[in-house]
Amino acid sequence: MYIHWEKELELGNDLIDTQHRMLVLLCRKLDIAIKTRQSEQTIRWVMLELKKFTEFHFVSEENLMHEIGYPRVNEHALVHSELLLNLEMMLAKISHHKEFPEDLLHFLNKWLIQHVVNDDLKIAEFARHSDRRPLGEELYREYLLFEK
């Protein structure tokens, strides 16, 4: 039921693809923590890690959109803000035992796939044809894929 990284999710931008892989990895980490019945505190720490990395990823993705002159950056940023709001609400409910970590995992898995396929692919397509290139793009392979 839960997502695994698949080639179809790649956008062709090494920075964003690496971050998307990390989001999938963190979802899997939460899944493992739940299935192995880790302590409530451990699961909270994994959820916090996932939340913080999601915030970082959104800032990074929005910077990329500005760098390449993506015309729908504000609309896309609003989608990010809505997800973060939903994420905060779910985390609050979980801390008050009104939701379960499994609910968060299910929500994030579904959201991540839909967002990458429906929204992020539009950015990737725009970036492929944009004259403006992301800052530091030439460094991505060296630092993210360990190639020189």
Q: Is residue 27 part of a domain?
A: yes
The CB density around residue 36, as the number of other CB atoms within 10 Å, is 8
Domain count, the chain: 1
Per-residue model confidence as pLDDT tens digits over 101-145: 888 888 888 888 888 888 999 999 999 899 998 888 888 878 877
Q: Which structural domain, as residue segments, surrounds residue 99?
A: 7-144
Q: Is residue 2 part of a domain?
A: no
- Mean pLDDT confidence for 23-50: 93
CA distances from 75 to 31, 71, 72, 82 (A): 31, 9, 5, 11
pLDDT at 44: 92
C-alpha to C-alpha distance for 66 and 83, rounded to whole angstroms: 20
C-alpha to C-alpha distance for 123 and 126, rounded to whole angstroms: 5
Indicate whether 147 pLDDT > 60: no
Q: Is residue 76 part of a domain?
A: yes
Q: Is residue 74 part of a domain?
A: yes
Q: Is residue 1 part of a domain?
A: no
C-alpha to C-alpha distance for 20 and 132, rounded to whole angstroms: 22
pTM: 0.89
Residue 19, domain CATH: 1.20.120.50
Percent of the chain with pLDDT over 70: 96
